[in-house]
Structure 1
Amino acid sequence: MVFLVILTSIVCLTVTFVLWMRKRFSYWKEMGAPYEEPSFLYGNLKGVGKQDHDGQLIEKFYRKHKGRGPFVGIFFFLVPVVVPIDLELVKNILIRDFNYFHDRGLFYNEKDDPLSGHLFTLPGLRWRRIRNKLSPAFTSGKMKTIFPLIVKIARRLELKLNEISTSESQVDIKDIMARFTVDVIGTCAYGLEANSLEDGQNEFFHVGMSVFENPRHGTGFTFLLLAFREYARKLGFKTFRDEVIKFYSSTIRKVVDYRLANNIERGDFMDILIRLHVGGNEEPLTFNELLAQAFVFHSAGFETSSSTLQFCFYELACNPVIQEQTRSHINEVLGEHGGELTYEAVADMKYLDQVIAETLRLYPPAGNHIREVTQDYKVPGTDFILKKGTSVMIPIYAIQRDAEYFPNSTSFNPDNFTEENIKSRPFAAYLPFGEGPHMCIGARFAMMQVKVGLVTGLRNYKYTLSERTGRPLKLQSKFFLTNVDGGIWLNIERLK
């Protein structure tokens, strides 16, 4: 009898759960919106983190449903998510109707993981407050001030490239460019001499790289935290590994304490954070807020820039004619500026801008940009109502590889970014840094260090593909940022 009761209870619970699941998965169907049929439990995330980079996964849904409506509905596990397809809707989300989408809706847990409460994750008024305070750190005037610091690191990069070209002749281009960008940001943000280019075992470099190469959670679990972030926060889940939290907390605490004790000002990013922390502001930054902003500027800043550099060198190695054209352009502009690598010289390298833009088109640092509906939103021209709390995943990778906007969309062609071609495209067809109020605050800095890295690497060196580089490239599936399984190995030859 007891067994029968238990069995009946299990059957009833199972049936109830299945019916509840069906109800959850009928959300988009009941709305009458185009949607991708979900899988049991996983929703539309089956394979993410194992087979597909998230940008490539969402691209499949984008291509399949394009033309059927302004968006396609999918599911992160049991949670409904909007993937906008129409570029006017994308523009509305990012700019025109920003007040309906002012949060990213990402997971963070400041209590247990202070590194996670940074500018990219904070919601609403807290995001706006910190964004407004940090904006002065990224003006063009500030970029011009710190440019000589980047050039100083670039000289070390050239010495390293010369050493490699005369001995090993092969280079893991991501490794060498990551060392360059770690040293740049260590100097420009923290006032620290990281010396990653000279010291192969540098802790600053290896801990920073581990944030992305050995994340605490894979992509699938990160989506789970995103979908159920309130529950995850209550349960004390963290974004970063404990040793990463400990290292950055200790490092930044020492920098802050040392500068305050010795009344040191360097005019860098850390100076601005310290003034916001201890100055006479009405609402000063807490130390944990300072810590989180310093962390994200360092980690995201070096990783995204070094990835852009590796993909750019890869495409130039695959396209020797474009590589030579880029090198000639660099040397011509430098010649016009007396052979000196100056801020003004880099600003005049318009073809180099096109090369970088085309790299960012094919390999945007993040394949998708996430937003959250913060109040019920009626999709223009339709009867669809997106409910408050619904996540929105803008398919950057998919849009930028859409042949409607970029002919021969998988080919590397810097001419996609001539003035004429830029004007002929819809506004939202190219969004590697986002757009609107949430546009990446460090985009200007990132472009500057990428340009200096390319100038340094290209003007005296030629690159070809090594046999160690697999083709086609296989994007890593274990993390959101765009990277390559096995790295990109290039042969390097000094020209003079």
Structure 2
Amino acid sequence: MLVPIALLVGVLTLVAWWVHQTFTYWKRRGIPHDPPKIPLGNTSELMKTMQLSHILKRTYFKYKNKTDGPFVGFYVFAKRFLVVTDIDFVKTVLIRDFDKFHDRGIFHNERDDPLTANLTTIEGQKWRTLRQKLTPTFTSGKMKNMFPTVLNVGDELIRVFDEKISSSSPQTLEVTNLLARFTADVIGVCAFGLECNSLRDPNAEFVRMGESAINERRYGRLVDLLLFGAPKLSAKLGIKTLLQPVEDFYMNIVKDTIEYRNKNKVSRNDFMDMLIDMKLKYDSGNKEDGITFNELAAQAFIFFLAGFETSSTTMGFALFELACNQDIQDKLRTEIDGVLKKHNGKLDYDSMRELTYLEKVIDETLRKHPVVAHLVRITTKPYVHSNPKYSIDRDIGVLVPTLGIHHDPEFYPEPEKFIPERFDEDQVKQRPACTFLPFGDGPRNCIGLRFGRMQVIVGMALLIHNYKFELHPTKTSVPIKYKVKNILLSADGGINLNVSKIARQ
């Protein structure tokens, strides 16, 4: 009887010691931080009353310029993180000392859950090699080839809007769902060569599977904690995150697309063509320049997932801000109408680049509502600071509070106001590096930002040219309320706007 009791006491003592060591890490280092609550750390409000990016924003403003170092301590459950509070140290993490902070520490399981092993999650040399292989697929020349395809889907978006706004009086529309279906169709055709028809069918499989991949997981909260806290152990245990129907759906689409194009000698100059070329190199023995089938499927999957949600959400936020600021909407419409008139009513890749005020509207939207509102890195090598107290051990998480930086009046006076002129060239030059981070920065920035911007510009240009967007007196939430249970910023309840057709002579 005494032996089991002794073992129990020993185990409990060990657990108590581990908990104490874990949750006093920053205190023992002398690093400023909010006292953690066991077992939730500094995230007791997470996904209950606050979104993570808003918790980080609060921490950023609480400690910025109030400590003797560039960051403060933070606990996400039992995992040790630091929150960067100095803008120059953001540059250190993302650019200057990138070799010490190049991984994200996100779960991926190449063997059992192959779609999770994509460019956003993989690490080290494997990431570097794949990034080098994929970078040529996102050049401006490749974007120009894909532009007509994006424009065709944009024209379909306008036809769908026209059908919903048949009368002369304004119609109330929830715009985020329509915009998600637009981006699903754009990426479906560019990444997979498929006419998804999501705009015509609200229940289209592409949209349903995309939403399922973002919002649903195989397991409950406890397994999610393991995936977050010990991603490498989780992979070794063979844990999968994606639901099986989601994995099967994307794997089968990729397989069928490759077989069809190879069999019928189909070439579309799209993203899938470029991936297939790399797979053919691998199959012919050129493994250095090629990719495997699973690697191809994973990149097509993340290209769809990343562009589908972020681009449509950005467009929704932009339409909301333009509805709140009619003078800006009028100014933007004048620019768009002028560029279209100059080019015989047609938008093409070159004329798109003349929409400079639209670019600023999009940038200001991304500043005020960055869909990816914080960045995560993991210290892959010890970092030595001039003040030894602020040196960083290996495997410490780094959180860059993008939302806080974007709302910092030091960089953006009156940050709650929507002012596209903040992105006039002279104003941009006056701000320090890394004060605008909707796509990240440095070697691990968003590889698809050119494509994402292109589809947003096309969609916004066509919508503002054809319609006026106004706030609904009761259905539009002002200011926007964000979903607290999402990792990405998105509007709770969608964005309901009054939409009316622009009368033209």
Counterpart position of 2:52: 54
Judge which range, 148-157 or 273-282, deviates more. 273-282
Task: Please state how far the C-alpha of 1:339 moved relative to its aligned partner.
Answer: 2.2
Distance in 2, Cα, partners of 1:146 & 1:380: 48
Counterpart position of 2:190: 188
Pairwise CA RMSD: 2.0
> What secondary structure does 2:83 align onto?
strand
Q: Tell me if 1:417 matches 2:423.
A: yes
Counterpart position of 2:361: 355
Cα separation, partners in 2 of 1:23 and 1:111, compared to 1, 3 Å? same
Counterpart position of 1:75: 75
Cα separation, partners in 2 of 1:171 and 1:222, compared to 1, 3 Å? farther
> What secondary structure does 2:434 align onto?
helix
Cα separation, partners in 2 of 1:448 and 1:108, compared to 1, 3 Å? same
Counterpart position of 1:96: 96
Counterpart position of 2:488: 481
Q: Tell me if 1:310 matches 2:308.
A: no
Q: 1:126-175 CA deviation, whole Å, 9 max, x = no partner?
A: 11111111111110111111111111111111111111122681221111
Q: 1:420-446 CA deviation, whole Å, 9 max, x = no partner?
A: 211111111111101111010000010
Judge which range, 17-26 or 397-406, deviates more. 17-26
Distance in 2, Cα, partners of 1:396 & 1:217: 29
Counterpart position of 2:291: 285
Cα separation, partners in 2 of 1:44 and 1:239, compared to 1, 3 Å? same
8 Å contact kept, 1:218–1:478: no
Identity %: 40
Counterpart position of 1:25: 23
Counterpart position of 2:131: 131
Letter in 2 for 1:105: G
Distance in 2, Cα, partners of 1:440 & 1:337: 31
Distance in 2, Cα, partners of 1:329 & 1:229: 48
Distance in 2, Cα, partners of 1:364 & 1:19: 40
Letter in 1 for 2:344: G
Q: Tell me if 1:172 matches 2:174.
A: yes
8 Å contact kept, 1:55–1:368: yes
Task: Please state how far the C-alpha of 1:227 moved relative to its aligned partner.
Answer: 2.0
Cα separation, partners in 2 of 1:200 and 1:79, compared to 1, 3 Å? closer
Gaps of 5+ in 1: none
Q: Tell me if 1:440 matches 2:446.
A: yes
> What secondary structure does 2:165 align onto?
helix
Q: 1:46-101 CA deviation, whole Å, 9 max, x = no partner?
A: 12122211111111111111111200111122221121111111101111111111
Distance in 1, Cα, partners of 2:126 & 2:193: 27
Counterpart position of 1:149: 149
Aligned residues: 494
How does 1:307-386 map onto structure 2 within 5 Å? 307-380=313-386, 383-386=389-392
8 Å contact kept, 1:218–1:479: no
Distance in 2, Cα, partners of 1:219 & 1:421: 45
Task: Please state how far the C-alpha of 1:470 moved relative to its aligned partner.
Answer: 2.7
8 Å contact kept, 1:100–1:373: yes
- The TM-score with structure 2 as length reference comes to 0.93
Cα separation, partners in 2 of 1:465 and 1:380, compared to 1, 3 Å? farther
8 Å contact kept, 2:29–2:389: no
Task: Please state how far the C-alpha of 1:333 moved relative to its aligned partner.
Answer: 2.1
Counterpart position of 1:243: 245
Distance in 1, Cα, partners of 2:224 & 2:45: 14
Counterpart position of 2:260: 258
Distance in 1, Cα, partners of 2:40 & 2:185: 41
Cα separation, partners in 2 of 1:312 and 1:391, compared to 1, 3 Å? same
Distance in 2, Cα, partners of 1:51 & 1:243: 31
Q: Tell me if 1:492 matches 2:499.
A: yes
8 Å contact kept, 1:169–1:493: yes
Letter in 2 for 1:348: E
Judge which range, 6-15 or 51-60, deviates more. 6-15
Task: Please state how far the C-alpha of 1:293 moved relative to its aligned partner.
Answer: 0.2
Judge which range, 75-84 or 275-284, deviates more. 275-284
Distance in 2, Cα, partners of 1:323 & 1:333: 15
Q: Tell me if 1:404 matches 2:406.
A: no
- The TM-score with structure 1 as length reference comes to 0.95
8 Å contact kept, 1:58–1:398: yes
Cα separation, partners in 2 of 1:440 and 1:219, compared to 1, 3 Å? farther
Letter in 1 for 2:351: A
Letter in 2 for 1:19: W
Gaps of 5+ in 2: none
> What secondary structure does 1:487 align onto?
coil
Task: Please state how far the C-alpha of 1:222 moved relative to its aligned partner.
Answer: 4.6
Task: Please state how far the C-alpha of 1:310 moved relative to its aligned partner.
Answer: 0.6
Distance in 2, Cα, partners of 1:113 & 1:301: 21
Distance in 1, Cα, partners of 2:386 & 2:147: 44
Distance in 2, Cα, partners of 1:245 & 1:53: 28
Counterpart position of 1:86: 86
Cα separation, partners in 2 of 1:217 and 1:424, compared to 1, 3 Å? farther
Distance in 2, Cα, partners of 1:468 & 1:367: 26
Q: 1:401-425 CA deviation, whole Å, 9 max, x = no partner?
A: 1111111112211121111211111
